[in-house]
Each structure stands twice: as C-alpha cells, then as structure tokens.
Structure 1
C-alpha cells in the first residue's frame, strides 16, 4: 500500500488526511502540536461563508490600507517596516489585481463545492460542531458600502451563489437582537456557521478510526524528494513516503522553497474574542444569525447556546502572534454597541496567523518535485474552502499513486 504524509494538523491537513484515507491510502499526519487544530484552526470567526469569497485584490483594499496605516485599531493594519517577504508579497498582490473578478468567481465555486463534502463528512462521522444553518447577514452603514455590495453580489451570482438585498426593517426581522443605524444589508440563506476546532478535532478522531497514523508533537525539520520518493525528517526520526501533501499554513513557504517551489504565503494575523454567555439575559440578547459588518470588517457567529464568537481585522506584521489589547478592544466595543445587553464580563481573546497567498487563491496540487503536493494558503477562508481543496488534492495524489 502506498504511504503518503500530510504535514500540518489544521483544518486543511486533517481534511486532506481524511479524504486520502477514504480513498484507501495509508496516511501519516504530522503535526507539531500535541493535538489537531491548535493554531489558525483554533478560534476563527466560525463562518462557512461563500458570501465572503470576494478576493482582496481591489483598489479599495489599497486605499484603506494606506488610510489606516497609522491607526492602531484599524480593521486592516500594515506595519510600514520594510522586508523582502512583505514587499514581494505586495508586488504579487498588485500583479493579481486584473484577475480580481475571475478569482472571486473561482473562490465562490470552491466554497459552494466544499459545503456538500463538509456536511456529508460531519453526518457520516457524527461530528457535533455547533453547526447552525441560519444564513449570514452582511450589514452596511452607508449607501456607498451597500452599492459596492451590489456589484460584488453580481460576481457571486456568476459563481452560483445567490444573496439578496434587505432593508433595515428586514434586517431587524432576520436578527432582532441587532442594534444600530444601518443603510441596508445582504442576506445569504445558504451560508452557515460552526466551530472549526470542534469539527477538526472530530474529523481527526475519525482519521484515527480509518487507520491514519497521527504523529502529534512531531516537528518537520526537512523535506526532500529523491528517486521519486519523499524523505521527511522530524525532531524524532526520518521516514520515506511515496508522496507528501504540505498543509503547513504559514510554514508552507519555507518547506516549499526547500523543494524548489514558490509558495509565497504571508502570515496575516487575525483576532477573535469568545464571549461566554453565562446568563439567560445575555443568551437572549446575543445574535443567532451570523453577521458581517462591512464598516468594521468584523464577523460574529453564535456557537451553541452559551458562546458568541466575534472575529476580524487583518494585520501585516510578520510572524507575530502577540495578542494586543488595542486590537482586541474594537471587537469588544462592537459587541457593546451592537448588542448592549450582552455581558462582556467573561471574554477569551485569541490571535492566529492566516496563511495568505497574494492572489487570495489557495495553492492546491502538485509541486515541481515528484511526489510533492500542496494544499495551503487559504487565508481567511480555510474553514470555508478546506473540504473542497482536500477532495481535489486527494484525488490528484491517489491518481499519481496508481
């Protein structure tokens, strides 16, 4: 039986290991943490959001980045300190701007394809991940934002996604708990939410039942392709495989470079807070429908009865995992303004590094060297896209082993 290694135990690595195991491949999952889903897949915004598939390669992103550069609590924060990695990433980001529409449509199609796989796997394996199919409501505070959303909606429709405009009165009917003055919104009924950590942990357990060898606490130090085989060296030993799939998040760039591939992943830091809804009043006052606030670039998801997850911001500041109070404060203020009767007495902050490629599309498929494959660089949409890209790369790997 062919032996395939999967490097990385986040959402992309675990879904890839599962998709391969379902095809009868002997899989070894290598993860440096003691458990699956302990980094970027730990506490994200929770949205399975095809409606959030618009890529960032648009002039509005550049304008906002420059406008917010010196504002410490801005939704998008760019550390002006130069560095080759950052400069090369932004050069490729600018070069991808002409493909903005095509890449947005491609991302929507991936997101829609991912749903059926993820939902089917959860049902087959009996995974409880606080899945809530109540749609996602995008909210806009001014006419300009709302009209831009109309243009984006036409692109999403090209990819097969329907979302419809709603008035402030209709917004209140969809989510009665929401407070504030809004120009209008867009509602996507087919989108949903769930706890990425619970899902990934549950699928990792399913991988074990399918015979996947999970090597937790094992750090990859080198990967080499030799004589159509792949040698992987860790802090424990060296092993030879017939193929490898690199799903290593922000570490993918370095591993790819050692194999002669250019996978220019940049670590874009995002923050979240988990608000514990410990009292009945807070549970009643918290939103049930998932939201995306265009002005603040924040999202919210209700996870079960007693948790509200709020996440967002994008920080270009290298591989820095510090949880900064000035970046967490806007998330708390958003809850207090939009849901004033929710208690924020007990809040858990978190920060993670999104592995983002300049064109905002994940790297999925074969590398230059024989037996080397990638499934990485999903940025802020790893939870939304992973099941589809895992199926794609698993099919490619399995075909290469025949």
Structure 2
C-alpha cells in the first residue's frame, strides 16, 4: 500500500482519490477551500457530454476569436493585454491544429469510457446528484453550420459515439419547451449523454472517500513541495479561522489535481504543465412554481452558435452556461457576460421565469491540446490528473482510473 497525497478536492481530485482508495492505497486529500468542489466544480453546465468532445484547435476558432475580440458579449473573448503566458499558450494551441483529429478521437473515447466509471461510483456510494439520462440535443440555425457539424459528427462516430441528425420538427418533439419560432434549421441528438449536478456529486464522493478511510484536509493551502524518488513532502498552511500554522505532510507520492493552480505546483516539482485559466460563466434559474417548471426544458441542450449549454437540475433549477474568456486568473462576474445567458434563456423559453437568477464564474484549466495531463511527472513520486478544460465533469471518472493505474505501476497494487 502506498501513501498518496491528492492535491485538490474538485471533481478530478475526488475521483482520483476514490480510485486510489478502491485499489487499496492510503489517501490524503488536500484542499484550500472550506468544502470540496467550491471552484470550477461548483456550478458548471452540468453536461456529461461525449457529444462535446470535439477539440477547439482549428483555424475557424482562431478567426472567430479575432472577429469577436471587441464584442463584450462574444461567446469567445480574449483580453488583448500583453501576457507572455497567454500568448505562448495560444501559440501552442495553434500548433495543435495539426492534431485536431487524433485529439478529438482520444477525447471522445475517454468521454465514453468515463460514463461507466462515474455511474458505477454513484450507484456504489448512493450519491444523489440530479442525474438525468435524457440525452443532449445540439441546435443549429443555418445549413452551413449544420453541415460543418455533420463533418465533426463523422469523427465523433469514428470515436465510437452514437449521435444522429434530427430535423427541426424532430428536435421540437424531443424538447417541446423550445420556442418553435426561434429559427432552428436542424440538430443532432445524442441519447447516451446525460446531465447532473457536479457539485452534489463531488461533495457526495468526497464523503465516500472519508468513509473508505481517506483523510480530507480542508482549508489547507499548499506552500512548498519537495519530491524525489523516495517520496514527497508537502508543506500546508491552515487558512481557517483557527490559524493553526504550517504542517509538513509526507507520503510516497503526490497527484496534482489542482485545476488552474496545477501549473504553479508543477513548477515546484520541476515539471512544465502548461495550463491556462479559461473563464466560463453560468446562471442557475430558480423555477419557483409549476408553470415555470413546465416552461423550462428537461432535455439538455447545446446551442452551437451561441456556445451555450443547459441542464435541468431536479424540479426547481435550470442551469445555463457558456462563453470562454481569456483574461488570466480573473474570477470577476461581469454583468455584460451574464446578460447574454439570460437573454438566450428568455428567447428560447419565453414562458420560463428569470426573476431568480444566480450568476457564477469559474476558471477552466485548459491545456493547448485540450487533452488533460494524466500520468507520471518527471520524478517517480509525482503524478498528474489535471487540465481537463471544459470537460472535467465528462472525463474525470476515466482519467482518475488512468492516474490510479500510473500509481499502481510505480508502487504496485496492494493485495
């Protein structure tokens, strides 16, 4: 049995910890927040979406970003202010355009594999997380965009995803709450995709980790780390009101699952993990009465033109999320970025109330290839499971297994 420290109690951290505990390792999870799942795993779009596995590395994405640069409500917005990390990251992003096909295929296969692992965790630990296996419906408003999607769909199919085209009348039959006059051309439907509340799942799985013998160190900020082939030491500082000072934790190995902080932590360990924080926004709409609940959709949606996704979270909540903002580690919730989400919801679902709207912003940890960094680092005691971008919820259960396998290969699997 190896003693492993997992840094980060978001979705990738707790799934990794759970996979390690299932394999018989001793696990301590270190998290600087007061509760698990309080950063990027708090209020994302909620989609478990293999159908959204196409990577963004294309010249069309670059051109759209340039056209949208001066629009504050643009789906993709980049702060043009000079920044070495931002522009070097973008240069590597462009360099990955040649790997668009293979990276999309790999992401699709990971997403499909992740479904089975995630549902097995939820069933085994009896986690209630507003799970809805109703599929995901992609919307298109004109023939050219639909035809571009058809080309991408063939690639998703090559990766093993079953996703089929639907006519305007068929998409309205799949989700009757959609406004029939919103100008749809056609769509694609993926019946095997699903949705759920990532925050509820993360909290529930963290509790399961504790039941299995894991240690959850909350309000513990990582100061310094040292790693060599014999093990790792992590200095943590108590950031609670108690202020109990620093403590050094020692273990056989460490797995970095720290979202946008992973880049800084990797540097301490002598590794380069090129993650950029790509901000996304969401609103959670409260559906206060029966009329509001009937007016809101139950099938998850992805509007390809607006780059907006939705999820129905139980009876009383509707999540709308979207946009990508390149603005460093800025967590401000901007009114001009929230307003398009509200306007979109009101346009497609005019009968749905929007008087109770809770805005949120989170930082997606994104690599230039849009593939997560999973596996060993430069030292034998260091491992990574980070950089999942906008698909952390979708990919986490599969990458957790890959990270745990890497630990097993280094230390052996307990008998």
TM-score (norm 1): 0.99
Shift of 1:10: 0.1
Aligned partner of residue 262 in structure 1, secondary structure: coil
Other-structure match for 2:254 = 244
How far did 1:401 drift?
1.0
SS at match of 2:100: helix
Q: Deviations over 1:227-284 (max 9, x none)?
A: 5211111113112110000000000001111212111100000000000001111100
Structure 2 residues without counterparts, runs of 5 or longer: 238-245
From 220, 223, 233, give the equivalent of 2:222.
220
Matched, 1:2 2:2: yes
Determine whether 1:197 maps to 2:168: no
Q: Secondary structure at the match of 1:343?
A: coil
Give the equivalent residue in structure 2 for 1:234.
236
* C-alpha distance in structure 2 between counterparts of 1:239 and 1:183, whole Å: 57
Is 2:119 the partner of 1:119?
A: yes
* Segments ≥4 residues shifted beyond 6 Å: none
Instruction: Please say if 1:291 is aligned against 2:301.
Output: yes
Question: What's the counterpart of residue 373 of structure 1?
Answer: 383
1:51-110 Cα deviation digits (max 9, x unpaired): 000000011110110000000010000000111110110111011110001000000000
Which secondary structure state, in structure 2, belongs to the residue aligned with residue 27 of structure 1?
Answer: strand
Aligned to 2:23: 23
* SS in structure 2 of the partner of residue 172 of structure 1: helix
Deviation at 1:226, TM superposition (A): 3.0
Given that 2:229 and 2:381 are in contact with CA atoms closer than 8 Å, whether structure 1 keeps it comes out as no
What residue is the counterpart of 2:136 in the other structure? 136
Cα pair 1:25 1:398 within 8 Å, conserved: no
Asked if residue 46 in structure 1 is aligned to residue 56 in structure 2, the reply is no
Residues in 1 aligned to 2:374 and 2:40: alpha-carbon distance in whole angstroms: 19
SS in structure 2 at match of 1:201: helix
What does the per-residue CA deviation read over 1:342-377, in whole Å, with 9 as the maximum and x for residues that have no partner? 000101000000000000000000000121000000
Alignment correspondent of 2:74:
74
Establish whether residue 258 from structure 1 lines up as the match of residue 260 from structure 2: no
TM-score (norm 2): 0.96
Superposed counterparts of 1:3-402, under 5 Å: 3-179=3-179, 180-235=182-237, 236-402=246-412
RMSD (CA atoms): 0.7
Cα deviations across residues 107-151 of structure 1 (Å, max 9, x unaligned)?
A: 000000000000011001000000000000000011111001100
